[in-house]
Structure 1
Amino acid sequence: MSVPPSPDDRLSLADRFATLRGAAWKALLRQAEALAYLVAGLPMALWRAFRGKPAASLPPAEYLHRYYAWTYWRLPWGPLKAAVAAVMWPVALIAAIWLFTGRNGKAIAARSGVSVAAQALGQADMAARHAIAPFWYYMFELYLPERGRQAGLYLTAHETIGPAYALLQPPEGADFLDDKIWFAEHCHAAGVRAVPVFMHFSKGERRPLKGGVDQLPEADLFVKPRSGAGGHRMERWDFIGGGRYRDAHGTVLDGAALVQKLARQSLKDDFLVQPRLKNHPALDDIANGALATVRLLTCRDGQGRPEAANAAFRMAIGNSVVDNFHQGGLATAVNLATGEIGIASDIGVRPEVGWRDTHPVSGARFAGRILPHWPEVVALAIKAHEAFPQRVVVGWDVAMLEDGAMIIEGNGKPDLDIHQRAERRPLGGARIAELLAHNVARRAGNQSKSRPD
């Protein structure tokens, strides 16, 4: 269905420029992230540069560290990129120490007894010896002596999201895990319970959609970008009767006006309409109005079977739209065997949040609760992974509804930060490190026609 043209709807030169500008900005952010990883990971690459190819017999964390170092110098223009990183590293480190110490130093000193000066020196030490940037220093509480002694076991994004996950990705075109439309259709065909898509808007029009609807349902809705991540640009529209919907800011639109609005938004990016899911009633008092989800990490074992490795439960505190950990939410570790949750915290860069066993908004206690439908949550994540046979590792976002568990999405390059923060321990000595190291060694060996020596 095409939206009736209006001055706002036509792809004017301004619209086209905005679209190109948005694409250029996304590309720039990707390049900036890649550069940040190169700079942060330089010490790891230097200290392990002359140890040769990683041997599969190494402990998992050390194997992954060495694999990162070994691949660092084999990147296109690797030595030149390393030289640029070497110039930027001290400047970036000083700036990061100034930023994160200024934000956290006094509060952490009062809480832990570690002086601000000692924290600054500790950040420099962790960055130089373990390639752990100041951001992670506070996230993983490395100012605590018992954590600092385990610094070599932490797995950071530059080595996992970087070369390890890059090696483990399926062949191009094997699946389209990141495409929310394809994902919903594929899960439906595979018998995996996943959130459906009602409507798809692109370039100012509503596009045909398998299993879609002709009119907005008279129900609460959730709007998100087709390829978005991290809780960005998502909207909740609650049905208030009389064909009208209200968003989280109090804006009220009827169905036709909401369709027009979404069409205009899609001039710059594709948007989807999905049902707004509601938590199991047992979670209402700790969800702050948002859908609370579990990030459940699965990885293939030595026989190629998906295995549940880690789980973290997320709750919203600052808004009622998303529970995303990187958008200010809380996360707590989940006992894989029982579904019990413990104390929770944010990502670790706001010391006023700290660790808590009650929700900061509702005051409800959550530590010690058993999550509803827990065996079904784990089984559903395993079943979902089986539906993606060429995926080695996936981070599943799973909702717990009154009538059971439902997959929200799968993440092909899942961040380990949430698990290491929530579990208050490094994962380099955990099962997930064993699984990742095994798969990386096997894939690297297959590429070179021999196992790493």
Structure 2
Amino acid sequence: MPRATREYGREAEHLWGVSLRRQLAEQVWLALRFGFDADVYYRYRLYLLGDLRDAVLFIPTPTNVALRHRVRGVLGYDVSIGDKRQFAERCCEEGLPTAPIVAEFDGGDVRWGPSAEGGVERLPARDLFSKPADDLGGAGAARWVWDGAGYVGEDGERLAAADLVAHLQTLSQGQPHVLQPRLVNVPDLDALSPGTLATVRVITAKGPGSDPEHVGSFLRMAMKDQPVDNFDQGGLAAPVDAETGRLGPAIRKDLRFAARDYDRHPTTGHAIVGARVPQWEEVLALALEAHRTLTDVSVVGWDVAVTTSGVVLVEANTAPDARFQQTGLRPLGTTAYARVYLDVLDAG
């Protein structure tokens, strides 16, 4: 029996009643017909399809990467919003709400932002958040909780302001970092992502000379003690209904858990299914406006937060991973995602 079927097949059989024999037969058929591997089969639960031929509507990761490279060959590559420093500047220029930058760190140097308290080179006495300026996936992000005497990091160690600055200067020798105020969820979202900012990933697509369209959205939620909500870092993701803003069952990216639905948050027990993203209409409108004004990149994943200070843009991903098809199990071939890419290639 293939390794993938041994590792993931029994869970699918247990939860969905699909025999291992059938799983094996379907994987062979999909490999011969479409070149799909076991990752695609188990990640998108293709064993639940009524007609296996519909699997062709899902876009595997290698195909998605190839599409992006082809489109970039036509349009070029806009790096102005992928870097978190430039993203914040562009948002400010266009009047779009975003998290301010307290300081930027690059090659050991510090550049202080306008949100530094009093405009002087010292840190504000409040919770802060640092992250790599030019990376994706949430790796390297850290919370810094102000306790009245200093900033407490993920390891529980308290740093004075000067020590935190020195720490980030050292990190920036290998990779630039930004330091921002720590954003806080509105209460309705805090039970779904305890202690960690939950963001809505809104995917939008824009063809040549056209307005951006909504492709799909999902709410990202952290598990216990995670500093970030990122899907790549083990967090949960639940699809958002475009009409109502209500959530479907959450899933995890790890293939070991890909067959499971999470109707409730494993840490808090709070219901996920049926919960509504607060101010959903504003969240969607902000993502579409950002795509309209900030970039001509065809497909963008916008991270939008509903915070105690309002709805804000957190960052933009100009290379969204096709594996978000896991959320809601909606194939990209049925959305504007594939159509826009094809329109760009036809126009080029």
> What is the TM-score when the length of structure 2 is the normalising length?
0.91
Q: How many residues align?
A: 344
Corresponding letter in the other structure for 2:86:
W
1:168 to partner: Cα distance: 4.2
1:170 to partner: Cα distance: 7.6
Which of 426, 433, 443 aligns to 2:338? It is 433
1:427 to partner: Cα distance: 2.1
The answer as to 2:123 corresponding to 1:216 is: yes
CA distance in 2, matches of 1:168, 1:297: 18
CA distance in 2, matches of 1:171, 1:441: 12
Q: Is the 8 A contact 2:42 2:259 kept in 1?
A: no
1:329 to partner: Cα distance: 1.2
C-alpha spacing 1:352/1:175, structure 2 compared with 1 (3 Å): closer
What stretches of structure 1 of length at least 5 have no aligned partner? 1-93, 444-453
1:234 to partner: Cα distance: 0.9
Which position in structure 1 is the counterpart of 2:347?
Answer: 442
Q: Is the 8 A contact 2:213 2:336 kept in 1?
A: no
The answer as to 2:326 corresponding to 1:421 is: yes
Q: Is the 8 A contact 2:145 2:153 kept in 1?
A: yes
1:431 to partner: Cα distance: 3.3
**Larger displacement relative to structure 2 (164-173 or 108-117):** 164-173
Match of 2:227, SS state, is coil
1:27-66 to 2 correspondences below 5 Å:
none
The answer as to 2:294 corresponding to 1:388 is: yes
Which position in structure 1 is the counterpart of 2:277?
Answer: 371
CA distance in 2, matches of 1:117, 1:123: 10
CA distance in 2, matches of 1:393, 1:352: 25
CA distance in 2, matches of 1:383, 1:433: 21
Q: Is the 8 A contact 1:348 1:354 kept in 2?
A: no
1:205 to partner: Cα distance: 2.8
CA distance in 2, matches of 1:180, 1:292: 18
1:212 to partner: Cα distance: 5.5
C-alpha spacing 1:229/1:134, structure 2 compared with 1 (3 Å): same
Q: Max radius of gyration: which structure?
A: 1
1:224-373 to 2 correspondences below 5 Å:
224-242=131-149, 244-301=150-207, 303-347=209-253, 349-351=255-257, 354-373=260-279
1:380 to partner: Cα distance: 0.7
Deviations 1:346-400 (A, max 9, x none): 1251238710211111001121122111111111111111222422221101111
Deviations 1:276-328 (A, max 9, x none): 11011111111122111111011125651112221111111143311111211
1:432 to partner: Cα distance: 2.9
Corresponding letter in the other structure for 1:232:
A
CA distance in 2, matches of 1:194, 1:347: 27
The answer as to 2:277 corresponding to 1:404 is: no
Deviations 1:169-189 (A, max 9, x none): 785575522111111111101
The answer to which structure has the higher helix fraction is 1
C-alpha spacing 1:125/1:203, structure 2 compared with 1 (3 Å): same
> What is the TM-score when the length of structure 1 is the normalising length?
0.71
Match of 1:358, SS state, is coil
Match of 2:88, SS state, is helix
Q: Is the 8 A contact 1:180 1:409 kept in 2?
A: yes
**Larger displacement relative to structure 2 (427-436 or 176-185):** 427-436
Segments of 4+ in structure 1 off by > 4 A? 168-175
Corresponding letter in the other structure for 1:227:
D
Match of 1:146, SS state, is coil
Deviations 1:225-257 (A, max 9, x none): 111110111111111112x01122212111111
Which position in structure 1 is the counterpart of 2:59?
Answer: 155
CA distance in 2, matches of 1:130, 1:325: 27
Q: Is the 8 A contact 2:202 2:216 kept in 1?
A: yes
CA distance in 1, matches of 2:123, 2:23: 54
1:110 to partner: Cα distance: 1.8
Q: Is the 8 A contact 1:138 1:348 kept in 2?
A: no
1:164 to partner: Cα distance: 3.8
The answer as to 2:34 corresponding to 1:127 is: no
Deviations 1:257-284 (A, max 9, x none): 1112112222221111111110111111
Corresponding letter in the other structure for 2:5:
T
CA distance in 1, matches of 2:144, 2:128: 5
CA distance in 2, matches of 1:353, 1:148: 17
The answer as to 2:93 corresponding to 1:189 is: yes
Match of 1:423, SS state, is helix
What stretches of structure 2 of length at least 5 have no aligned partner? none
CA distance in 1, matches of 2:115, 2:174: 22
